[in-house]
Amino acid sequence: MGRNEPAPQGAPSLASAGLVLIGAMAAVAAAGTVAVGVLAGVMARRIVTPPTSRADDTRVHAVDLENGTITLAATADSVLPGDYSFWFARDAGHARLGAILHSTATRVTRRIMNVDFGDLVSASAGRLGGYSFLGPWDLGLDFENVTVSTDRGDAPAWLIPSDSPSGRWVIQVHGRGVRRHETLRALPVFHAAGYTSLLISYRNDGEAPPSADRRFGLGDTEWRDVEAAIDFAVRHGATGIVLMGWSMGGAISLQAATRAVHDGRLLGIVLESPVIDWADVVAYQAVLLRLPALVVRGALTVMGRRWGRVVTGLHLPIDFPRLDFVARADDLSLPILILHSDDDGFVPSTPSRRLAERRPDIVTLVPFSVARHTKLWNYDPAAWNRAILTWLTELDSARPALGPGN
């Protein structure tokens, strides 16, 4: 065919074929952009929306109450050594499980330590957790039900006094989607160290009054409830306060330490499986869900912009740079103890390690390798308690005289 010869009838020219191809590619790209946008919106909304229920994700194969055993499907959590809580029948029942007696590639048989309530025999599935205790009464400690006055209203809390009041207090801040019961595991070690413990609730956790938008601020708003707890502690005799944050409670505690008015009464921070950088957590979850990086960036953008409230329901955007304490390492001044497992499964330990590397002068990192998320005490209570008690002892040695200016 010559240069000037027309194309045969019925066959598109190269130019027209190119236009068709470009149009098809544009349609695919547009569809892809829409899909990414939808996924980003769904992810953003899910992150900031308090869960109303949690799935029973572990199958129950057999229960033998006479011999005190339960056989579960083998999962990353069910095969871990240690003592754990087991919620079943959509949280209508609760048991405490202990040692592993037998295991195969697909099943694990554990000791039943106690059935607190519910019909475990008829349970077909449940979920393992780290609670272990349902209240201070399970630990045999004196306690008082109190309320902390926040700008959202009165938030319930448990107050566990030390045997010999010294002015040293610890405020326990639980994680996302759980309640103050999560922090009960820390009571014995702090009680042994002479600390009064205040186990608080905060906005949108299902116990404290909700925020106006009923959405998590990922620490960017909840810190105000910790500030209120600090005020409560000071009014009741606290002269030196340690904050302990679990998972998202770590992000909340770090915000409180750097934003709350506390007149120098804060002594240090203990972080268990903490969120140090939310962007890293969102990226990690996206990898687990096999979502592209564009979805991560989109979700962070949606949560961090005012226009994103149409999707998320947030009244105010979340300031993610302010929540990144790897980047903000120089803004920290209090001694910090971090307990984190490298196989966490929800919140990656990498930011914890980076913070420890950037601030070795104030950060003590005690890494675990096999303990999962917020289950370090359950996996190895001796090592966990020892790490906290050693750190508290060093903290007290560095500040022997506690007072409002210390």
> Does residue 241 share a domain with residue 195?
yes
Q: Calculate Rg over the CA atoms of the chain.
A: 25
Q: 168 in a domain, yes or no?
A: yes
> Does residue 103 share a domain with residue 175?
no
Rounded distance between C-alpha atoms, residue 142 and residue 281, angstroms: 38
> Does residue 334 share a domain with residue 250?
yes
Listed residues 76, 100, 129: the one ending a domain: 129
Name the residue range of residue 110's domain: 58-129
Rounded distance between C-alpha atoms, residue 99 and residue 97, angstroms: 7
Listed residues 94, 129, 164: the one ending a domain: 129
> Does residue 259 share a domain with residue 110?
no
Q: What is the pLDDT of residues 103-144, one digit of tens each?
A: 999 999 999 999 999 999 999 999 999 988 999 999 999 999
Q: 76 in a domain, yes or no?
A: yes
Q: 354 in a domain, yes or no?
A: yes
What does the pLDDT read at residue 375?
Answer: 97
Closest residue by Cα to residue 347 from 276, 295, 267: 276
Rounded distance between C-alpha atoms, residue 246 and residue 339, angstroms: 10
CATH number, domain at 99?
2.40.30
One DSSP character per residue, 199-253 reads EE--TTSSSSPPPSS----TTTTTHHHHHHHHHHHHHTT-SEEEEEEETHHHHHH
Q: What is the pLDDT of residues 172-222, one digit of tens each?
A: 999 999 999 999 999 999 999 999 999 999 999 999 999 999 999 999 999
What does the pLDDT read at residue 28?
Answer: 39
Q: 285 in a domain, yes or no?
A: no
Q: 284 in a domain, yes or no?
A: no
Listed residues 129, 149, 180: the one ending a domain: 129
DSSP E strands in 20-66: the ranges are: 58-64
8 Å CB contact between 384 and 355: no
DSSP E strands in 209-346: the ranges are: 240-246, 266-272, 336-341
What does the pLDDT read at residue 5?
Answer: 41
> Does residue 90 share a domain with residue 150?
no
- Section 338-355 average pLDDT: 97
Q: pTM for this one?
A: 0.90
What does the pLDDT read at residue 27?
Answer: 41
What does the pLDDT read at residue 35?
Answer: 77
Instruction: Find where tokens 């009041």 sit.
Output: 165
Token code pair at residue 37: 């946008």
- Section 35-52 average pLDDT: 92
What does the pLDDT read at residue 33?
Answer: 60
- Between residues 264 and 247, the one the model is more confident about: 247
- Section 152-165 average pLDDT: 96
Q: Taking CA 19 as the corner, what is the angle to CA 16 and CA 22, rounded to the nearest 5 degrees?
A: 155
> Does residue 387 share a domain with residue 262?
yes
> Does residue 116 share a domain with residue 167?
no
8 Å CB contact between 395 and 267: yes
| pLDDT band of 330, cuts 50, 70, 90 | very high
Q: 157 in a domain, yes or no?
A: yes
Over 60: is that where the pLDDT of 29 sits?
Answer: no
Beta strand 153-160 pairing with 144-150: antiparallel
Q: What is the pLDDT of residues 231-257, one digit of tens each?
A: 999 999 999 999 999 999 999 999 999
Closest residue by Cα to residue 195 from 169, 173, 232, 159: 169
Over 90: is that where the pLDDT of 309 sits?
Answer: yes
Q: What is the largest CA-CA distance in the chain?
A: 102
> Does residue 192 share a domain with residue 103?
no
Rounded distance between C-alpha atoms, residue 11 and residue 51, angstroms: 58
Rounded distance between C-alpha atoms, residue 300 and residue 99, angstroms: 41
- The total domain count for the chain is 2
> Does residue 206 share a domain with residue 86?
no
Q: Of how many residues is the chain composed?
A: 406
Q: Output the average pLDDT for the chain.
A: 91
Q: 108 in a domain, yes or no?
A: yes
CATH number, domain at 257?
3.40.50.1820
> Does residue 171 share a domain with residue 212?
yes
- Between residues 189 and 25, the one the model is more confident about: 189
> Does residue 359 share a domain with residue 227?
yes
> Does residue 154 share a domain with residue 241?
yes
Q: 292 in a domain, yes or no?
A: no
What does the pLDDT read at residue 21?
Answer: 40
8 Å CB contact between 126 and 373: no
8 Å CB contact between 315 and 309: yes
